């Protein structure tokens, strides 16, 4: 217990002694984590936005006008059985007619009201579960008996699926790259710290300190840098996303798609991930740079 | 006990041997000088002993530990039986003398309670009781080397390995440091001191191993009849040879070395006047 205490204290001493370097690494790591966080929040928001549009992007399947009510029901059941269909909703002709009338201009209504019969067919609103399979779903719907027309917008659906894919890949790429940079930063800091303390390390080795004993303070140092940067980054991403959302929702509402992705829903996960990344890069970064250092650095550098 | 059996060492990429067919046995409690010019192989000899390098051939056994077969994780434990003193002292500048010595105990996980008992005792052995709160830069070269020696001793090393301990101090301090090592040796510690100062070695009647171009050129045991007299002669020889600064309490120093009081007086008076 006393040992652990001493080692931990040493780690904090490292930080104090190398104030400037510690500050620099916290700052750079913080920036990296913040960028990771922003990339992540962007990914989440774009994903939500696309899902929102997708949910609007339904296939309308119109039923033959002369189909009986039993046949209409049968069509609904057939549609539900199709793979990749997540939702099937009947839009009855009367209902649709009422909708159209209520949306219409008074003058235009007169023409429709002049008709003695409802001209609209029964229809099914089919929502596709997986946008990748949109086309095949459409093809299958066309084969269902008593369907006389299918209205869809497959190009939009495809575009959305593509966009989502590329957004995901790019985000993952950026996040991975930034993670690597963070790792590099921390291990570099540790290397510099180790260089400035090579005298102490050489003495430690010469008096028989174990490698783990030599390593521990540096790990603590890396961990502390990671935790501080992680907490700061969480707060920063929160502020950024709040600000961005408030200014974005107003402009997005014009498009008609209001997206509500609250930072709070992700705050805990993001904070945990950040601190986790910080601790991981701290421990891993110091471990790798130490291993090299401990192996190469001899404690006696004598001129023969 | 230190045993080198037909030890040769050739560094990777080197064309010649740094050490060739070295056979040395150093018994527990011995005091040995290892002498040689620069590049003779002294450092290699030390590095092999500290298991920082591994012999290319032959075997090295120290205190029953075979350095050819020792596992990496057992090396720290092995090194705790050695006390190493470097030419450049290797004291940590931003730590006090006390902390420098305590550091050696802390980094091997010794309890603070034990450290508080042990460090003052070792400092007093080295005559540094009142320097505990000083920083290394505030001490003279000789004092700094004594701190380094205290650090080497604090973990109860069985073997003290001193690498050119007198290289960075003035001649009078050199004598003082060797004398300090002698006294440790008298208390039962094996001492191996590497140096290139032939003149210093001659002042002391101890075993001398001379290394030249990687080969042990000579291994001369102490002259038979080693006694306080021999030691004394050495002391006065040194005193004649080197100027003693007036503020150094040399008489007290010599009396510790069992020198007659009048001897010290006669030496000090004129020397003090000169400088």
The DSSP code sequence of A125-177 is EEEES-GGGHHHHHHHHHHSTTEEEEE--HHHHHHHHHHHHHHHHHHHHHHHH
**Distance from first CA to last CA of chain A, Å, rounded?**
42
The answer to whether the Cβ–Cβ distance between B50 and A199 falls below 8 Å is no
Q: Are residues A123 and A219 in the same domain?
A: no
User: Do the strands A59-63 and B215-220 form a parallel or antiparallel pair, or are they unpaired?
Assistant: unpaired
Q: Are residues A162 and A241 in the same domain?
A: yes
Contacts B108 to A, Cβ<8 Å: 207-210, 213
Contacts B79 to A, Cβ<8 Å: 205-208
| CB contact residues (below 8 A), chain B span 123-142, against chain A | none
Q: Which residue in chain A is spatially nearest to B52 when comparing CA positions?
A: A298
The answer to whether the Cβ–Cβ distance between A2 and B111 falls below 8 Å is yes
Can you state the percent helix, strand and coil of chain A, rounding each to 5? Answer: 75, 10, 15
Last residue of a domain, one of A152, A175, A200: A152
> For position A250, what pLDDT does the model report?
63
Last residue of a domain, one of A91, A125, A152: A152
| CB contact residues (below 8 A), chain A span 207-226, against chain B | 207-211, 213-214
Q: Are residues A209 and A275 in the same domain?
A: yes
The answer to whether the Cβ–Cβ distance between B47 and A6 falls below 8 Å is no
Q: Are residues A265 and A172 in the same domain?
A: yes
Contacts A9 to B, Cβ<8 Å: none
The answer to whether the Cβ–Cβ distance between B92 and A213 falls below 8 Å is no
Residue-number span of the structural domain to which A30 is assigned: 2-53+158-296
ipTM for the whole complex:
0.73
Measured CA to CA, the distance from residue B217 to residue B68 in angstroms comes to 25
CB contact A303 to B (< 8 Å):
yes
Residue A232 resides in a domain: yes
CA-nearest of B200, B236, B227 to B34 is B200
> For position A302, what pLDDT does the model report?
36
> For position B67, what pLDDT does the model report?
92
Residue A302 resides in a domain: no
Instruction: Tokens for A120, please give them.
Output: 């609209």
CB contact A198 to B (< 8 Å):
no
User: Which residue of B37, B73, B76 to mutate against A (max A Cβ within 10 Å)?
Assistant: B76
> For position B252, what pLDDT does the model report?
43
Q: Are residues A67 and A164 in the same domain?
A: no
Measured CA to CA, the distance from residue B3 to residue A292 in angstroms comes to 32
Q: Are residues A28 and A107 in the same domain?
A: no
User: Which residue of B62, B101, B102, B106 to mutate against A (max A Cβ within 10 Å)?
Assistant: B106
CB contact B54 to A (< 8 Å):
no
CB contact B260 to A (< 8 Å):
no
Q: How far is CA A248 from CA A41, A163, A240, A252, in A?
A: 13, 19, 12, 6
Q: Are residues A11 and A103 in the same domain?
A: no
Q: Are residues A219 and A122 in the same domain?
A: no
Last residue of a domain, one of A109, A135, A152: A152
User: Which residue of A11, A203, A212 to mutate against B (max B Cβ within 10 Å)?
Assistant: A203
Q: How far is CA A181 from CA A29, A110, A282, B190, in A?
A: 8, 69, 12, 52
Residue A75 resides in a domain: yes
Residue A301 resides in a domain: no
Residue A303 resides in a domain: no
Q: Are residues A70 and A138 in the same domain?
A: yes
Q: Determine the distance in angstroms separating the CA of A195 from the nearest CA of chain B, rounded to an integer.
A: 14
pLDDT in tens, A105-153: 676 667 666 666 777 788 888 877 776 777 788 888 878 888 878 877 6
The answer to whether the Cβ–Cβ distance between A208 and B18 falls below 8 Å is no
CB contact B112 to A (< 8 Å):
yes
CB contact B16 to A (< 8 Å):
no
Q: Determine the distance in angstroms separating the CA of B246 from the nearest CA of chain A, rounded to an integer.
A: 35
Instruction: Tokens for A92, please give them.
Output: 């009855």
Residue A43 resides in a domain: yes
Q: Are residues A163 and A233 in the same domain?
A: yes
How many CB atoms lie under 10 A from the CB of residue B219? Answer: 15
Q: Which residues of chain A have pLDDT under 50?
A: 256-257, 296-297, 300-304
Q: Are residues A204 and A105 in the same domain?
A: no
Nearest to B108 among A200, A202, A209 (CB): A209
The answer to whether the Cβ–Cβ distance between A300 and B47 falls below 8 Å is yes
CATH code for the domain in which residue A78 is found: 3.30.70.3040
Residue A130 resides in a domain: yes
Q: What are phi and psi of A259, to 5 degrees?
A: -110, 130
Residue A172 resides in a domain: yes
Q: Are residues A73 and A117 in the same domain?
A: yes
Domain count, chain A: 2
pLDDT tens, chain B, 275 aa long: 899 999 999 988 888 888 999 999 999 999 999 998 888 888 889 889 988 888 999 999 999 999 999 988 898 999 999 999 988 888 988 889 999 999 999 888 888 899 999 999 999 988 899 999 999 999 988 899 999 999 999 998 999 999 888 887 888 888 888 888 998 899 889 999 998 888 888 888 889 999 998 899 888 886 654 555 555 566 666 555 554 444 444 444 444 444 444 444 444 444 444 43
């Amino acid at each position: 217990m006393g040992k652990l205490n001493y080692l931990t204290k040493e780690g904090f001493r490292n930080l104090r002694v190398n104030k400037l370097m510690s500050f620099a690494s916290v700052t750079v790591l913080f920036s990296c984590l913040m960028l990771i966080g922003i990339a992540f929040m962007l990914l989440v928001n774009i994903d939500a936005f696309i899902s929102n549009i997708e949910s609007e992007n339904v296939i309308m399947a119109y039923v033959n006008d002369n189909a009986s009510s039993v046949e209409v029901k049968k069509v609904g059941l057939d549609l539900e059985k199709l793979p990749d269909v997540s939702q099937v909703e009947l839009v009855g002709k009367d209902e649709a007619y009422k909708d159209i009338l209520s949306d219409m201009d008074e003058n235009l209504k007169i023409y429709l009201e002049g008709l003695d019969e409802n001209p609209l067919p029964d229809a099914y609103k089919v929502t596709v579960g997986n946008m990748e399979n949109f086309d095949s779903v459409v093809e299958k719907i066309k084969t269902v008996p008593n369907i006389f027309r299918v209205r869809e917008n497959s190009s939009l659906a495809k575009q959305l699926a593509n966009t989502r894919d590329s957004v995901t890949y790019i985000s993952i790429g950026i996040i991975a790259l930034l993670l690597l940079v963070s790792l590099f930063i921390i291990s570099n800091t540790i290397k510099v710290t180790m260089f400035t303390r090579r005298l102490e390390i050489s003495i430690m080795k010469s008096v028989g300190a174990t490698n783990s004993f030599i390593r521990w303070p540096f790990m603590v140092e890396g961990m502390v840098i990671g935790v501080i940067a992680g907490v700061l980054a969480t707060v920063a991403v929160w502020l950024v996303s709040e600000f961005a959302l408030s200014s974005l929702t107003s402009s997005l509402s014009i498009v008609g798609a209001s997206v509500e992705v609250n930072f709070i829903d992700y705050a805990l996960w993001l904070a945990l991930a950040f601190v986790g990344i910080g601790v991981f890069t701290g421990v891993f970064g110091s471990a790798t740079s130490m291993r090299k250092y401990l192996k190469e650095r001899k404690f006696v550098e004598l001129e023969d | 006990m230190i045993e080198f059996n037909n030890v040769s060492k050739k560094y990777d990429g080197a064309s010649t041997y740094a050490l060739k067919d070295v056979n040395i046995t150093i018994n527990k409690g011995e005091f040995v000088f290892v002498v040689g010019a620069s590049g003779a192989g002294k450092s290699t000899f030390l590095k092999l002993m500290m298991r920082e390098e591994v012999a290319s051939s032959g075997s090295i056994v120290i205190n029953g530990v075979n350095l050819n077969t020792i596992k990496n994780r057992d090396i720290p434990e092995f090194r705790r039986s050695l006390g190493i003193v470097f030419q450049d002292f290797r004291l940590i500048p931003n730590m006090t003398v006390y902390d420098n010595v305590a550091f050696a105990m802390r980094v091997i996980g010794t309890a603070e309670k034990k450290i508080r008992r042990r460090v003052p005792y070792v400092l007093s052995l080295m005559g540094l009781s009142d320097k505990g709160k000083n920083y290394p830069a505030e001490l003279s070269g000789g004092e700094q080397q004594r701190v380094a020696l205290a650090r080497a001793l604090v973990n109860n090393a069985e073997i003290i390995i001193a690498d050119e301990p007198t290289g960075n101090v003035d001649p009078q301090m050199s004598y003082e440091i060797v004398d300090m090592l002698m006294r440790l040796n008298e208390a039962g510690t094996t001492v191996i001191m590497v140096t290139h100062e032939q003149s210093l070695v001659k002042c002391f009647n101890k075993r001398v191993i001379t290394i030249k171009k990687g080969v042990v050129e000579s291994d001369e045991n102490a002259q038979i009849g080693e006694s306080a007299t021999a030691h004394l002669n050495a002391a006065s020889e040194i005193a004649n040879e080197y100027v003693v600064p007036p503020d150094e309490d040399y008489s007290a120093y010599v009396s510790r070395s069992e020198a007659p009081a009048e001897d010290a007086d006669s030496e000090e008076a004129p020397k003090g006047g000169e400088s």
